[in-house]
Amino acid sequence: MPWITLTILVPLAGALLCGLLAQSERRTATLVALATAGVTLVLSLVALGLFDRNLADLQLVDHLDWVESIGLAWDVGVDGISIWLLLLTTVLFMVGIGYACFRLPERGPAFLAMLLLAEAGLIGLFAAGDLVLFYVFWEAMLVPFAFLIWVWGGERRRRAGLTFVIYTMVGSLLMLVAILATAFIAQDITGQFTFNIAELRGVAFSETESTWLFLGFALAFAIKLPLWPLHGWLPMAYGEAPILVTALLAAVMSKAAVYGMIRIGVPVFPEGANNLAILIGVLAVVGIVYGSLVAWRARTMRMLVAYSSLAHLGFVMLGIVAFDVMAAQGAVLQMVNHGIIVAAAFIIVGVINRGTGEEDIDRIGGLAARAPWLSGIFLIVAMASLAVPGSNAFVGEFFILAGVFRHHAWLAVLACIGIVYAAVYMLRLYQSSMNHEERGIPAGRRQELGLPDLVALVPLVLIMLFIALWPASIVGGTRASVEAAVAPAQVAAGRPADQILVPVPRNPPAENLPLPGDETAADPATTTPGGQP
Amino acid sequence: MATTLGWIILALPLLGCLALALFPRHGEPPKGPVIAIGVGSILIAFVLSAVVFASMLAEDPSERLHVDSLYEWIDIGGVSVDLAIRIDTLSMMMMLIITGVGFLIHLYSVEYMDHDRDYRRFFAEMNFFVFSMLLLVMAENFVFLIVGWGFVGIASYLLIGYYYQQADAVRSAKKAFVMNVIGDVGMVLAAFLLVRELGTLDYSEVFARAGELGPESGTALAVCLLLFVGAAAKSGQMPLHSWLPDAMTGPTPVSALIHAATMVTAGVYLIVRCYTLFDLSSLAGDTVAVVGMVTLFLAATVALMQVDIKRVLAWSTVSQIGYMVMAAGLGLYASAMFHLMTHAFFKATLFLAAGAVIHALGGEQSLDRMGGLRRHLRVAYFAMGAGCLAIAGFPGFSGFFSKDEILAYSLAAGTLGTIGYVVGTVAALLTAIYMFRLLFRAFFGPDPDGGYAHAPHPSRWWMAVPLSILAVLAVVGGWIQVPFGWHLIDDWLAPALVGAPEISPSHTQEVVSLIIGSIVAVAGIAIAWYLFGADRERRLRLAGVAAGPRRVLEDGYELDEIYDEALIGTTRDLGDALTRDFEPKGAGGIISAPVAIVRGSARVLRAAESGLVRTYAFALIAGVGAAGIVIVLAVVR
Amino acid sequence: MTGVPLAFYIGLSAAMFLIGMLGVMIRRNPLLLLLAVELMLNSANVALVGFSRHWDDSAGQIFALVVMVVAAAEVVIGLGLVVATFRQRIELDVDQLSTLKG
């Protein structure tokens, strides 16, 4: 069975179905959307069941030639990195669509269709094994998200949607150029024209080529992440989108960037990545500190969580550009953690906004007495978000920073400032809304979590607890792929041999290249005559 | 067997917490089951700890180490971490203190929290604390040490901010949490160093291979100092102490359990646990000892001036932990643990007695509005008296033995130890003065002016029994380690402190220290009686003397103000400036450039889109014509 | 090779194309616009057939057939739009149908 292809096509089909429904058929639309999201979730779980944790390469590959002459193909599959993001996507969209169905906005069927379209785009992105496919899905998911902001957003939704689209398009066009350049330059080197990511790994780009190509990709990723100081679209989009869409943007879409970095940027262009690693690392750390400070002083709850997301994603990026297996594995785990936590945090912010009709942090207080369940779950989420030891985010951040510390101790130490400020701003958010005397709570409204909220939040909290108790369940599955992904960059960074755990692919094979220190003894059969005594 | 019971001991308070938190009932459940679960879980944990203790007593000392792993928690980048516990003599001692004192304080809380609205929440959070503290001391690797470390931080945060409607409780809770996060960062960085240098976080392996860090190396020093940042934050050592006095906004049983008897001594436990590392770097040990000295002395001076009964005790806690930290820094690990134990007894006694007073007076905490309570609250009076005599080091009471041990052993620990002895002795005098100031002002003399607003009522047995038991322990707790007699604590801890330096005082030093210690205690009590007991007007007459320095002391050397100004204020301003200026203009500017370009070019180009079909047709034909002319010209040329 | 010379085909084709082009540019009625476009397409067909005969290659005739099919499809859509517009009781004048103005 082409499981991964099905996982992409099912939400797509669901989206078409929902899109074709008349806007009055809300009930049918919710049923279709729920069934679609459910089936997709089950399919992704099947993929997890079939997944072999010991393989580094893409698995469960569905290959279909499309335009062979120019190397286009439908190539989807999962590896130890993308399987978790695939699951994150299906789980969060299941939760999100379920949550949306309880409180369907105007033009509900279209809303659900857009959500499903976004899901299909994201799954395709995480499963793509081909640069062109990656690009197509990268752009495809932009469309539904733009519409979700544009049509269902807040007061300034037009401007926010437009900014979001244009700004991310600028980045992705650079990526398109980089993709084409990669294929052509690789053809010059290897004699074979391909967009296949696995085949492009190990292509011996010159250092300049590698740097420029990496830069093309990195800019797109940096904008999407967003990396400081390219985060200008974030407050606008996160602020204006419906809160559920904001949750999904922060939880899933932002992962596209870090995923691209560890899947394409670092393994395909190791030299370029190595040249820019410190720069990106510094920007990530600046983002961590900056995001934390601005989150601390944010006016609305939603902005606070939005900026905290900037800070948390800085950790993930830092973990990837450290070229350390531990840090990168931690980063993959942290992608999942951050997705779950930030989604829960935004849902809670939405609940508080709804229950009080107030967005400002400082105008409400004392909700804990009215809503003990809300305050309890919020506490867990807040603690997880500030990565208190014992939470799932702690596992991720701890090992990211432990890995970073091995190579750039100063970056890790500076990033720790963000940990302290995370405590400051999350406690500000929690205490000002839940503690103190009651204020700003309108009578006659329900502040406590309702059934829909519980249905959305309880699974997320359970997942957090599960990961906190047994992180090996995820981390173990990432090892093989992460080792293979960072090994070329480790070679480029000149790390000692004992840290490089897997052989690095070379394309064309090593013996054709006059590289200094090339170990001819490794493969005596291909040594040139006279090369060996 | 020991480890199986260990897992059960660890699980019981957690289960208690979960059962209470998820109690399937709307609103406040009946008190009976809450008490049964909340107190019962700790009681069973204590009984089981005692069983494990008994079984360990039966073992050969060299075999008193049990490690058990439940499952592999993570295996990442070559570092494997198990969810594992370690029961050795050190953690056994801590377990007994935590569950034993913890049980008594839980029992006490049954009555103390009787009037409270959130009865169940209180016990759930207390049980969570006991679980976290047990995890901290039973962990077999640095990861779960840090996890326990973080969890006790949460529990402490929750219980300090228990009265969450009060602004100062909320503020203190946040302050405690953030300062502890600073400590956590120190611990985490130490762990990073260990990962980098040794590639493991398991105690057994780290301590076995600690030598690879190199004796007196910079790495060893860094590891120890970073660990000590965590220890200092948790244990209220200067300059990270200022959260502890503020933490008194929590209910009094919380102050007794968390902020006196157990959690705040975790820093001492940490240093003792990592003695192998601290032995590698004498500079680190010296730093720890100096910080301990500074803290124990400064905190004692501040305690002299506090008016709030709980803040007196809080500052005295800071000071007493300073003794332990100094001892640990000097390498007197067993002495530090001995004082940790006696301190748990007498400080819990003092807090619970103070709690009995506060409870009886309906929440009154100011010494200015107390007096003559001796006549109203007999049990509290005797308990407070026993506690004061113990902490002042009155001969025969528990604090006498443990404090004397630290001081006498310090004499044998080089120059720094001698300085420590002097500082510690002076502070011991201050300790006797401020504790008996509290006793005399609250319990002696006439009733306060205008009488009591809330007539003092004696406590019922829920409070009286645990208080009495602790008072007895505060008296006799020191008898298990008597100079020239027996050294049960040293012997018990010996298997866990293999290879620690053997420091023991000469007979002369021991005798001198005993005599001076006794004199100091009696003198301190006498001074306190002269100032506060014999003539109550004398205090008021002296009130005008040196008002400036007194205010500085009352404010705890105004460190809070300095922190507010220097650290919090500046970064807050920075955050505001970034939000106000950089965010819209800088980040917004970077983004608005491409957006403006796209929008601008679109505005120009839209003129071409007239919507008139014939214009399009004309443009099309003109374009084709132009292209044709170009081609023709090219061909002709 | 006897018959009509190639120049005649080209001439006819050019004339038809010019008439069609002027029609597109001058007329405002969408129906006549469509007719004019059709005329231009057929002028191309004439040229194709003429060249096909001249070079004795059937490709040109096949091409003409393809063009016819495409033209038919185009007219279907065009007429459909015209009818739809007429149903809306909008005046049939392409200058008025300019809602797509940027």
Are A121 and A141 in a shared domain? no
**Rounded average pLDDT per 10-residue block, chain A, 533 residues:** 90 91 85 92 92 87 82 87 93 92 86 92 92 91 90 86 85 90 89 86 86 91 86 85 90 91 90 90 91 88 90 92 91 93 92 85 83 88 91 92 90 90 89 83 80 89 93 90 88 82 74 48 43 38
Question: How much is the pLDDT for A229?
Answer: 83
Question: Which of A53, A158, A167 to mutate against chain B (most B CBs within 10 Å)?
Answer: A167
| Interchain CB contact of A271 with B (< 8 Å) | no
Q: Is the pLDDT reported for residue C65 higher than 90?
A: yes
Say yes or no: A258 and A209 in one domain. Answer: yes
- In the prediction, which pLDDT does A214 show? 92
Q: Which chains touch A (3 or more CB pairs under 8 A)?
A: B
Within an 8 Å CB–CB cutoff, is residue C24 touching chain B?
yes
Residue of C nearest to B614 (CA): C25
Distance CA B576, CA A273 (A): 34
Q: For residue C39, is pLDDT > 60?
A: yes
Contacts for B528 with CB less than 8 Å, ≥ 6 apart: B432, B433, B434, B435, B436, B437, B439, B440
DSSP-derived secondary structure for A309-358 = HHHHHHHHHHHHHTT-HHHHHHHHHHHHHHHHHHHHHHHHHHHHHHHHS-
Which residue of B lies nearest to A426 if distances are taken between CA atoms? B174
The mean of the pLDDT values for chain C is 86
What phi and psi, each to the nearest 5 degrees, are found at residue B545? -70, 130
Query: Residues of A with CB below 8 A from B70's CB?
Result: none
pLDDT of amino acid A380: 92
Q: What percent of chain C has pLDDT over 90?
A: 40
Contacting residues for A412 by C-beta, under 8 A, at least 6 apart:
A401, A402, A404, A405, B189, B192
Residue A514 lies in a domain: no
Cα distances from A44 to residues A80, A98, A214, A531, in angstroms, run: 13, 17, 31, 52
Which residues 37-56 of A have a C-beta within 8 angstroms of B? none
User: Are B76 and A326 in contact (CB < 8 Å)?
Assistant: yes
Q: Which domain holds residue A144?
A: 130-502
Give me the percent of chain B exceeding a pLDDT of 70.
98
When pLDDT is cut at 50, 70 and 90, the band that residue C101 belongs to is: low
**Is residue A471 exposed (0-12), middle (13-18) or buried (19+ Cβ within 10 Å)?**
buried
In a domain, A39, yes or no: yes
Q: Do C25 and B613 touch (CB under 8 A)?
A: no
The last residue of a domain, from among A129, A151, A171: A129
Chain B positions in Cβ-Cβ contact with residue C24 (cut-off 8 Å): 614, 617
Q: Mutate which of A388, A410, A434 to test chain B, going by most B C-beta atoms within 10 A?
A: A388
- Is A124 in the same domain as A157? no
Chosen from A296, A361, A362, A448 to mutate, greatest number of chain B CBs within 10 A: A296
Query: Who contacts B534 (Cβ-Cβ below 8 Å, separation ≥6)?
Result: none
CB neighbour class for A383 (10 Å; exposed up to 12, middle 13-18, buried from 19): buried
* DSSP type of residue A516: T
CA distance C60 to B33: 96
> A9 lies in a domain?
yes
Total domains in chain A come to 2
Q: How is chain C split into domains, by residue range? A: 29-91
Residue type, position B220, single letter:
A
Residue of C nearest to B607 (CA): C102
Nearest CB to A233 within list B148, B151, B591: B591
Are residues A164 and A149 located together in one domain of the fold?
Answer: yes
Whole-angstrom distance, CA of residue B12 vs CA of residue B17:
9
Contacts of C98 in chain B (CB under 8 A): 610-612
Kindly state the DSSP code that residue A513 receives in the 8-state scheme. S
**Using the beta-carbon criterion (under 8 Å), do B607 and C100 form an inter-chain contact?**
no
Window 146-165 of A, Cβ < 8 Å to B? 162-163
Q: What ranges in B22-67 are assigned the alpha helix state H?
A: 31-57
Q: Mark B421-451 as b/e (b = at least 16 C-beta within 10 Å).
A: bebbbebbbbbbbbbbbbbbbbbbbeebeee
What is the spatial distance between Cα B599 and Cα B292, in angstroms, rounded to a whole number?
65
Residues on chain A touching B173 (C-beta within 8 angstroms): 431
Say what the pLDDT of residue A531 is.
38
Q: Which ipTM score applies to this complex? A: 0.88
Contact C101 B609 (CB under 8 A): yes
Residues contacting residue B490 through CB under 8 Å, at least 6 positions apart: B334, B481
Residue A430 and residue A288 in one domain: yes
Token couple for B417: 């130890």
Helix orientation angle between B2-21 and B119-138, rounded to the nearest 10 degrees? 150
Say if residue A293 is in the same domain as residue A435.
Answer: yes
* Residues A341, A250 within the same domain: yes
pLDDT of residue A468: 92
Do A130 and A194 contact (CB within 8 A), yes or no? no
State the average pLDDT for chain B.
86
pLDDT of residue B17 exceeding 70, the answer is: yes
Residues in chain C: 102
> For the residues of A215-226, what is the DSSP string, one character each?
HHHHHHHHHHTT
**Chain A residues with CB inside 8 Å of B77's CB?**
324-327, 329, 399, 402-403
Asked if C92 has any chain B CB less than 8 Å from its own CB, the reply is no
Cα separation of B531 and B554, whole Å?
18
C-alpha pair distances (Å), A102 with each of A105, A154, A390, A454: 9, 20, 33, 12
CA angle B117, B122, B126 (to 5 degrees): 170
* CA-based nearest distance B448→chain A, Å: 32
**Any contact of A with C, at least 3 CB pairs below 8 A?**
no
Whether A118 and A224 share a structural domain: no
Identify whether A321 is part of a domain.
yes
pTM greater than 0.90 (yes/no): no
pLDDT tens for residues B330-339? 888 888 999 9
Whether A245 and A115 share a structural domain: no
User: Over 80: is that where the pLDDT of B320 sits?
Assistant: yes
Asked if A376 lies within 8 A of B153 by C-beta distance, the reply is no
pLDDT at A520: 45
The residue ranking higher by pLDDT, B50 or A445, is B50
Q: Which two tokens stand for residue A416?
A: 């720790």
The SS3 call for residue B396 is: coil
Q: Which of C21, C94, C102 minimises the CB distance to B613?
A: C94
Q: Does A393 touch chain B (CB under 8 A)?
A: no
The pLDDT tens digits for B203-240 are 888 888 888 888 888 888 999 999 999 999 998 888 88
Q: Do B614 and C28 touch (CB under 8 A)?
A: yes
Residue A526 resides in a domain: no
Query: Would you place residue B147 in the very low, low, confident or very high pLDDT band (cuts 50, 70, 90)?
Result: very high
Between B373 and B80, the higher pLDDT residue: B80
Cα-based distances in Å from B107 to A342, B102, B159: 40, 9, 17
CA distance B605 to A162: 18
Q: Which residues pair with A73 in a beta bridge?
A: A65
Q: Of A346, A347, A344, A291, nearest to A317 (Cα)? A: A291
* β-bridge mates for residue A300, sequence order: A360
For B28, nearest residue in chain A (alpha carbons): A372
Q: Are residues A7 and A145 in the same domain?
A: no
Q: Provide the pLDDT confidence category of residue C81 given band limits of 50, 70 and 90.
A: confident
β-sheet bridge partners, residue A62? A76
CA-based nearest distance B619→chain C, Å: 10
Token code pair at residue C36 = 């004019």
B223 closest CA partner among B202, B203, B195: B195
User: Tell me, what's the pLDDT at A524?
Assistant: 44
Do A59 and A142 fall into the same domain? no
Is A117 found in the same domain as A151?
Answer: no
Cβ–Cβ contact B603 with C under 8 A: no
A59 bridge partner residues: A78
Instruction: Give A330→chain B minimum CA distance, Å.
Output: 8
pLDDT reading at B471 higher than 60: yes
Nearest to C25 among B607, B608, B617 (CB): B617
A462 and chain B in contact, CB less than 8 A: no
* Model confidence band, residue C27 (pLDDT cutoffs 50, 70, 90): confident
